[in-house]
Amino acid sequence: GGLSLLGAVPGAPSCPHGPALLFVKISQGQEEGRRFYACSACRDRKDCNFFQWEDEKVSATRLAAREEYNRNHQPSFTHRQNVERYKNFVLLPLSKRRFCQECQQLLLPAEWEKHSSHQFLCDISAAQLRSPSQLLYPLENKKTNAQYLFADRSCQFLLDLIISLGFRRVLSVGTPRLHEMIQSKASQEEDFRVRSLLLDIDFRYSQFYTEDEFCHYNMFNHYFFGGEAAHETCRKFLHQDKDERIIMVTDPPFGGFVEALASSFKKLMAMWKDTEEGHNNQEMPTFWIFPYFFESRILEFFPSFSMMDYQVDYNNHALYKHGKTGRRQSPVRIFTNLSPRMIVLPAEEGYRFCAICQRYVSSDNQHCEICNSCTSKDGRRWKHCVPCKKCVKPSWFHCNKCNCCALENHTCEKTDAGCFVCGKTGHKRSTCPSLSRS
């Protein structure tokens, strides 16, 4: 049995997170599964319990109730209101600038009373307002919505890379930390020319950015909560001027469905393409930041992409951040449609250029003479297996029963159904390595 995504379909019902996605549930021994709609953004029923069988008849009363429910489950302030509130907030003297930690909200003096039993921060400085990702709690939903913020080093690397490649505009899709680094420099350094538009489902950011800087967006169904106006903002941003090349950078939660993400990114790319005739058959330059074990899934949807060896590090992730003692290897990589040889990785961190592969690789990634490529995916040194005709992880051994390489203590029986999360065989959803991030 299992669950799989059929995708966004025209006429799908909506939950508070926009149009629901169509799924199919296949029970064991059954030929055809039953199809149903569920929330695109929340994998946890506790966050959004929207559910509807595809063939279910929904009465007019229930439809009306649902619409009302969706309306009531929108944020209490609109983006416009939040922008106005921000304008008033920055006029306040430091001593009157409070941020409610419980409500995750900047407070105006008239609202103090209402939040008097809540924990709050005082003296919110201009520097704090420039770094909302530090002020806000990272969302911690175990399944899809967890926020993992780039470590400074990785964020700075990305920005330097973007600039050195000649980009002047960044469509930041689910990368609030990168967006804020760009916005912060733009507001402080006079000759800093890069601009960013943040698309993210985390509406708390609307307190800090105008409608031209942030769109409330769902990347699993390409839904702009702000409607046509927000769509237009995005379109306008993508309409590049002559010397303002644009790149899309995205770091989605990876408990999510790759195909849903890919379909949204294709739509954003199409928006970019529609803005100008001059793009010919080019694809919008993109960095998709995602774990290396999703490589085959990403390439399935974007054959033009390749995976870089650079290990993206995070601040608030216990497993993937740089330890003081030695380095934990992060599994997160950059996938891009730019030419790999252009993506210069820092020599100080051990990356080197492989002249044969024409790309930068990590220090332990050895060029295999037989495969004729630098084959390591995880940063460790891989070894070539002659019967498998490929390089494998250092911890793997060739098993003659299975006729492939595996961990020494594996059980010699193939699970034929692929994992529900990543599609790979050999493990089930509950033990999928891609979920270990949460």
List of residues contacting ligand SAH (CB under 6 A): 41, 139, 144-145, 147-150, 174-178, 200-202, 217-220, 251-253
389 touches Zn ion by CB under 5 A: no
Residue for token pair 């939903």: 141
Residue with Cβ nearer ligand SAH (107 or 159): 159
Residue type, 50: F
Backbone angles phi, psi at 24, to 5 degrees: -130, 135
Residue with Cβ nearer Zn ion (210 or 373): 373
Q: Which of residues 107-136 bind Zn ion (CB under 5 A)?
A: 115, 118
Q: Exactly one of 367, 380, 393, 398 binds Zn ion (CB under 5 A); which one?
A: 367
Residue 118 near which of ligand SAH, Zn ion, none (CB within 5-8 Å, type-dependent): Zn ion
Residue for token pair 């530090």: 134
Residue 368 near which of Zn ion, ligand SAH, none (CB within 5-8 Å, type-dependent): Zn ion
Residue with Cβ nearer ligand SAH (12 or 405): 12
Cβ neighbour number for residue 210 with a 10 Å cutoff: 14
347 touches Zn ion by CB under 5 A: no
Closest separation between CB of residue 269 and ligand SAH, Å?
16
Closest separation between CB of residue 157 and ligand SAH, Å?
12
Residue 354 near which of ligand SAH, Zn ion, none (CB within 5-8 Å, type-dependent): Zn ion
> CA 258 → CA 290, 368, 434, distances in Å?
10, 30, 12
> CA 81 → CA 209, 211, 309, 410, distances in Å?
12, 11, 43, 57
Residue 100 near which of ligand SAH, Zn ion, none (CB within 5-8 Å, type-dependent): Zn ion
Asked if 155 and 178 count as a contact pair (C-beta separation under 8 A), the reply is yes
Residue with Cβ nearer ligand SAH (234 or 391): 234
CA 387/CA 339 separation, integer angstroms: 32
Residue for token pair 């590090």: 313
383 touches Zn ion by CB under 5 A: no
Cβ neighbour number for residue 178 with a 10 Å cutoff: 27
CA 102/CA 17 separation, integer angstroms: 23
Residue for token pair 């509406």: 203
Residue with Cβ nearer Zn ion (100 or 139): 100
Q: Which SS3 state, helix, strand or coil, does residue 340 take?
A: helix
How crowded is the C-beta side of 38, counted as CA atoms within 13 Å? 21
Closest separation between CB of residue 247 and ligand SAH, Å?
15
Residue with Cβ nearer Zn ion (26 or 342): 342
Where on the chain is the footprint of Zn ion (CB under 5 A)? Answer: 100, 102-103, 115, 118, 354, 356-357, 367-368, 370-371, 374, 384, 391, 399, 401-402, 412
